[in-house]
Structure 1
Amino acid sequence: MGLLELKSIKKTYFLGSSVWGKRKIVEAVKNVSLTLEEGVCLGLVGESGSGKSTLGKILLGLEKPDQGEVWFQGRNLYNLKAKELKELRRNLQVVFQDCYSAVNPRLTVGEIIAEPLRNYERLTSAQEKKKVQEFLEIVGLCLEDIHKYPHHFSGGQLQRINIARAIALKPKLIILDEAVSALDVLVQVQILNLLAQLKEEFQLSYLFISHDLQAVNYIADRLAVMYKGEVVERLDDMEQLERLEHPVSKKLLSSVLPPYPSGERLGIINNMTKISL
């Protein structure tokens, strides 16, 4: 069993009022099964409405599946008691797309990063401050930033703060839900480089959810393509990206890749050139 395993996940929404007419049935996720091994970044890509974000919410416990099981570290998340789930959740963190709404604007950066530490660890004020400063440095921010508020930072800097909070407990898995899509290309590359470095340093696993195949190709080890609630294609070797066959995969591929000569290895795409932090 992998670090994370989804077994036959289904989620249906009923939209509209049953009083005035029939409800619209939306099958957001249809019988999805996925496995994520430790130390691997799995890219989950699809167009808007494909069901990928709904699947992410199910993994985080924000949406309950109508059917299926979510296993994390060998335990079924939806069969656990509250105390057991809380303990398991320390190894399952998330970075959302909207870096601004993900933080409390009334808290300092130090308080934001310290939040998970306060929930799970008993530290003195001095120990907490030292750890927060350590993670600020790790994500490329200044020690003096600990006393600042979210409005003092750009989107890219604020996403670094969200990443620092996500790694504060040194979790096993981080779900990255469109974590770079709201940033401009240069900042995207910087954040993706940072995530790649953190993955190696802390032996992290990622579920990288995105509509952007270019960003997914940049960081992912494996790929799953979703369309209309289903996983329609999988790829275990990102070097074979040009061999994707499903029509929606080809559509995503053509939107970001220029034509390549037959057999040419796909490298860093378009303007995404690796740069130092």
Structure 2
Amino acid sequence: MSLLELRAIKKTYLLGNSIFGKRKTVEAVKSVTLTLESGVCLGIVGESGSGKSTLGKIILGLEKPDQGEVLFQGKNLHSFKAKELKELRRNLQVVFQDCYSAVNPRLTIGEIIAEPLRNYERLTSSEEQKQVQGLLELVGLNPEDMYRYPSQFSGGQLQRINIARAIALKPKLIILDEAVSALDALVQVQILNLLAQLKEEFQLSYLFISHDLQAVNYIADRLAVMCKGEVVEWLDDMGQLERLEHPVSKKLLSSVLPQYPGFL
């Protein structure tokens, strides 16, 4: 059984104000079907407006599809009852692009990372402190950082903190929605290396959503290319990027790999 399965997902939005005329219909996602196995990183890449982020929101339960099913461990996510939904939140975490808005500036780093632990675990103060400090060390920060505030950290450090919070409950799947795109090139590589190490250590599964094919290639095991709400190409082997044929795939490839395939 797949960890995550999408079956013919469709999502349409109505844009504009009906008072001033006919509203425009936009098909953000058109009958997308794909699967993700445990321990695998699936990269979803596409240009702006391709529907990849909408798909991520549907998987997270932030948007409901007009048609189709999202199966998480064989169960339809959008039919979960309250108790099942709470357990789902434990096993499905997310790291967003904007590392600054993802944290509460009034809380200490320790309180931010401890939030999921407090929601799901019954820990003593000393146990919580030990776990938070251990998580900080896992993501390459100092245990003493738990007493500091978000304003005292760089963007790259904040994203490490968001990753620490995401792995706190050892989830089965983490959705990384443009998680490195706001960072400079060197920090991107550092964060991608960290994500790869954590994936290996904890046997995590990732859904890595990005417009950057180079970043996706760095970490993903498999690839889905989206264009205008559809998956237009699929690769089971990231070593075969040269086989990409769709015009959007080639455009994404040429934009980051001017000397392709020499960088591989």
Same topology, TM > 0.5: yes
**CA deviation after TM superposition for structure 1 residue 174, in Å:** 0.2
Residue in structure 1 matched with residue 2 of structure 2 by the alignment:
2
8 Å contact kept, 2:257–2:263? no
Pairing of 1:228-243 with structure 2 (within 5 A): 228-243=228-243
1:156 is matched with 156
* C-alpha distance in structure 1 between counterparts of 2:259 and 2:193, whole Å: 25
Whether contact under 8 Å (1:239, 1:266) holds in the other structure is: no
- Aligned partner of 1:98 in structure 2 is 98
Deviations 1:227-277 (A, max 9, x none): 0000000000000011100000000001011234xxx6762xxxxxxxxxx
Question: Which consecutive segments of 4 or more residues in structure 1 shift more than 4 A?
Answer: none
Alignment of 1:33-112 (within 5 A): 33-112=33-112
Secondary structure at the counterpart of residue 234 of structure 2: strand
1:138 counterpart residue number: 138
TM-score (norm 2): 0.98
Structure 1: tracts of 5 or more residues without a match: 268-277
Deviations 1:42-82 (A, max 9, x none): 00000000000000000111111111100011211111111
1:130-172 per-position Cα deviation (integer Å, ceiling 9, x unaligned): 0000000000000110000000000000000000000000001
Structure 2 residue identity aligned to 1:224? A
State the distance in 2 between where 1:20 and 1:187 align.
Answer: 47
- The equivalent residue for 1:18 is 18
Residue 208 of structure 2 is aligned to residue 208 of structure 1: yes
Q: What amino acid does structure 2 have at the position aligned with 1:15? A: L
Query: What's 1:220 paired with?
Result: 220
Distance 2:66 2:27 in 1: 10
Q: Report if the CA contact (8 A) 2:113-2:168 is conserved.
A: yes
Structure 2 contact 53–177 (Cα < 8 Å) conserved? yes
What is the rounded CA distance, in whole Å, between the counterparts of 1:49 and 1:176 in structure 2?
Answer: 17
CA drift at 1:187:
0.1
CA distance in 1, matches of 2:143, 2:17: 53
Distance in 1 between the 2:115 and 2:100 partners?
16
User: Secondary structure of 1:90's partner?
Assistant: helix
- In structure 2, the residue matched to 1:122 is 122
Q: Name the structure 2 match of 1:194.
A: 194
Shift of 1:20: 1.4
Q: Which has the higher helix share?
A: 2
| 2:169 equivalent in structure 1 | 169
1:42–1:208 contact (8 Å) kept in structure 2: yes
How far apart are the structure 1 equivalents of 2:24 and 2:258? 39
C-alpha contact (below 8 Å) 1:241/1:266 kept by paired residues:
no
Cα separation, partners in 2 of 1:180 and 1:160, compared to 1, 3 Å: same
Distance between the aligned counterparts of 2:68 and 2:128, measured in 1? 39
Q: Which runs of 5+ in 2 are unaligned?
A: none
Does the 8 Å CA contact 1:4/1:36 hold for their aligned counterparts? yes
Q: Structure 2 CA distance, aligned partners of 1:80 and 1:216?
A: 31
Q: Work out the CA distance in 2 between the residues paired with 1:162 and 1:131.
A: 15
Contact 1:213 1:256 in 2 (8 A): yes
What's the TM-score, normalizing by structure 1? 0.94
Which secondary structure state, in structure 2, belongs to the residue aligned with residue 39 of structure 1?
coil
RMSD: 0.9
User: Deviations for 1:161-200, whole angstroms, at most 9, x for unmatched residues?
Assistant: 0000000000010000000000000000000000000000
1:19 deviates by 1.7
